[in-house]
């Protein structure tokens, strides 16, 4: 059973990222705060007796469900479905884009390609966030869980309620879409 | 040839992973600089959750103590007993209604039997009650 301190430390470590994730999904700061609060309360109500090691996966699962509930409440489920179809359709657009070539050409942290002096770090971060927010919902969720929350493929699949193969596909497409979009804006790795 | 394609796939995967982690690092950097009011609301949400977790644990502890008491008294802790206990009042109510109905039936039969017994045991023939003259005689005030 997780102690108060363990639970508090865990929530403190994930709350900001959770809020950002919710913001990327719902694009509304206040609604995202409500979603995170709802997630924390659901976790505390139902899973306070679980060991601390189980909390990250439970939290991510609850956060995804809470976000989905928000969409249901807003009656914009069709919008989500449309995002899903966009992701299906987007697959073909990446065919002529060689990520390996793009990624191998440059290294190190993300930086401005041609106008490094004129574009501030904050603006780069803002652009990256905007591009992440523009990803189709499932791709974004897979990408953030896998690379930001650092869950492995199996955990991400369990959290999203899909197969490991789907997670790999979502992540790969998200990476390609982001690399292409950021390169188009002069930001590369 | 096969090794070459495997190498390319592995390199592609590694490049994707490296890129993804760079993006994730930027997102983490960005997440660290949230507005003070957002931080405050997150702190409030966290504290509220911790309070709820505390109550939830205390509640679980209370149920545990009750269950232990039941075990000492000789009851099993299984859910079977809980289900049985929740159905018990309903069974008692239905049983009580059936008993009341049965008791009322028996009372009515007993009263009817007493009336029949009195009528049949009397010296007066039962057909006399169907005679209009006898009815009038019964209604008339007794003459001294």
pLDDT score at B32: 82
What residue numbers bound the domain in which A32 lies? 4-73
Confidence class for position B101, pLDDT limits 50, 70, 90:
very high
Q: How far is A41 from chain B (nearest CA, A)?
A: 5
Under an 8 A CB cutoff, do B16 and A104 touch?
no
Res. B107: pLDDT tops 90: yes
Contacts of B38 in chain A (CB under 8 A): 19, 29, 33
Same domain, A69 and A124: no
Nearest chain A residue to B32, by CA = A16
Q: Kindly state whether residue A144 falls inside one of the protein's structural domains.
A: yes
Same domain, A100 and A54: no
Contacts of A147 in chain B (CB under 8 A): 17, 20-21, 23-24
Q: What percent of chain A has pLDDT over 70?
A: 75
Under an 8 A CB cutoff, do B12 and A99 touch?
yes
Same domain, A183 and A111: yes
pLDDT tens digit sequence for B46-83: 999 889 888 887 776 555 445 445 545 454 556 778 88
pLDDT score at A89: 47
Q: Kindly state whether residue A155 falls inside one of the protein's structural domains.
A: yes
Q: What is the mean pLDDT of chain B?
A: 82
In chain A, helix, strand, coil percent, each to 5?
75, 0, 20
Same domain, A178 and A101: yes
User: What is the C-alpha separation between B85 and B120, in angstroms, rounded?
Assistant: 53
Q: What is the domain partition of chain B in residue ranges?
A: 1-33, 35-77, 78-144
Mean predicted confidence (pLDDT) in A32-42: 92
User: What is the C-alpha separation between A32 and A67, in angstroms, rounded?
Assistant: 8
Q: Which residues contact B45 (CB under 8 A, 6 or more apart)?
A: A15, A33, A36, A37, A40, A41
Q: Which DSSP symbol is given to A48?
A: T
Res. B34: pLDDT tops 60: yes
State the total domains in chain A.
2
Confidence class for position B86, pLDDT limits 50, 70, 90:
confident
Confidence class for position B106, pLDDT limits 50, 70, 90:
very high
pLDDT score at A107: 41
User: What is the C-alpha separation between B46 and B52, in angstroms, rounded?
Assistant: 10
Nearest chain A residue to B21, by CA = A147
Q: Kindly state whether residue A51 falls inside one of the protein's structural domains.
A: yes
Same domain, A63 and A105: no
Nearest chain B residue to A105, by CA = B15
CATH number, domain at A32? 1.10.1740
User: What is the C-alpha separation between B16 and B85, in angstroms, rounded?
Assistant: 60
Under an 8 A CB cutoff, do A36 and B45 touch?
yes
Q: What is the mean pLDDT of chain A?
A: 79
Tell whether B87 is within 8 A of chain A (Cβ).
no
ipTM of the complex: 0.70
Tracing tokens 């009397």 back to the chain, one arrives at B122
- At residue A149's C-alpha, the angle toward residues A145 and A150, to 5°, is 95
For residue A114, the SS3 value is: coil
Q: How far is B57 from chain A (nearest CA, A)?
A: 7
A80, A84, A87, A89 alpha-carbon torsion, rounded to 10°: -120
Which of A29, A140, A144, A148 to probe by mutation at the B interface, max B CB count within 10 Å?
Answer: A148
Tell whether B57 is within 8 A of chain A (Cβ).
yes
Contacts of B10 in chain A (CB under 8 A): none
Element holding A188 (H helix, E strand): strand A187-188
Instruction: Report which of residues B124 and A111 the model is more confident about.
Output: B124
Same domain, A108 and A180: yes
CATH number, domain at A109? 1.10.10.10
Q: Which residues contact B118 (CB under 8 A, 6 or more apart)?
A: none
User: What is the C-alpha separation between B61 and B123, in angstroms, rounded?
Assistant: 80
Beta strands of A104-151 (E only): which ranges? 111-112
Same domain, A100 and A46: no
pLDDT tens digit sequence for A98-129: 555 555 543 445 555 454 554 567 888 888 88
Under an 8 A CB cutoff, do B45 and A41 touch?
yes
Tracing tokens 């913001």 back to the chain, one arrives at A23
Q: Kindly state whether residue A88 falls inside one of the protein's structural domains.
A: no
Under an 8 A CB cutoff, do A48 and B19 touch?
no
pLDDT score at A189: 56
Tracing tokens 């928000």 back to the chain, one arrives at A70
Same domain, A106 and A36: no
Burial level of B124, CB count in 10 A (0-12/13-18/19+)? exposed
Q: Kindly state whether residue A83 falls inside one of the protein's structural domains.
A: no
Tell whether B14 is within 8 A of chain A (Cβ).
no
* A138 close to A160: Cβ distance less than 8 angstroms: yes
| Token reading at A145 | 């869980």
| Token reading at A27 | 């694009």
Contacts of A37 in chain B (CB under 8 A): 41, 44-45, 48-49
pLDDT score at A103: 55
* B16 close to A100: Cβ distance less than 8 angstroms: no
Under an 8 A CB cutoff, do A37 and B15 touch?
no
Contacts of B19 in chain A (CB under 8 A): 99, 103, 175, 178-179, 189
């Amino acid at each position: 059973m997780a102690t108060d301190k363990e639970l508090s430390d865990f929530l403190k470590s994930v709350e900001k990222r959770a809020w950002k994730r919710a913001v990327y999904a719902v694009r509304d700061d206040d609604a995202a705060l409500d979603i995170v609060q709802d997630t924390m309360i659901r976790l505390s109500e139902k899973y306070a007796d679980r060991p601390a090691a189980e909390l990250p996966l439970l939290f991510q699962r609850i956060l995804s469900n809470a976000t989905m509930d928000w969409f249901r409440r807003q009656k914009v489920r069709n919008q989500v479905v449309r995002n899903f179809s966009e992701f299906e359709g987007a697959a073909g657009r990446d065919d002529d884009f060689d990520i390996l070539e793009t990624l191998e050409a440059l290294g190190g942290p993300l930086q401005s390609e041609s106008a490094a002096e004129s574009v501030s770090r904050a603006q780069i971060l803002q652009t990256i966030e905007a591009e992440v927010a523009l990803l189709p919902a499932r791709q974004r969720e897979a990408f953030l869980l896998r690379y930001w929350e650092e869950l492995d493929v199996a955990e991400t699949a369990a959290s999203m309620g899909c197969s490991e193969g789907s997670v790999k596909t979502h992540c790969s497409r998200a990476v390609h879409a982001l690399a292409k979009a950021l390169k188009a804006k002069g930001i590369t790795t | 040839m096969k090794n070459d394609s495997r190498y390319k796939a592995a390199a592609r995967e590694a490049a994707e992973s490296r890129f993804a982690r760079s993006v994730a690092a930027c997102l983490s950097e960005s997440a660290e600089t949230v507005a003070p009011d957002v931080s405050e609301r997150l702190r409030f949400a966290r504290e509220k959750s911790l309070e709820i977790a505390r109550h939830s644990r205390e509640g679980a502890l209370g149920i545990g103590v009750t269950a232990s008491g039941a075990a000492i008294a000789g009851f099993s802790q299984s859910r079977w007993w809980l289900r049985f206990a929740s159905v018990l009042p309903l069974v008692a109510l239905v049983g009580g209604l059936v008993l009341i109905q049965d008791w009322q039936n028996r009372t009515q039969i007993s009263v009817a039997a007493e009336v029949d017994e009195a009528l049949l045991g009397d010296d007066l023939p039962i057909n006399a009650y169907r005679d209009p003259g006898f009815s009038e005689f019964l209604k008339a005030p007794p003459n001294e």
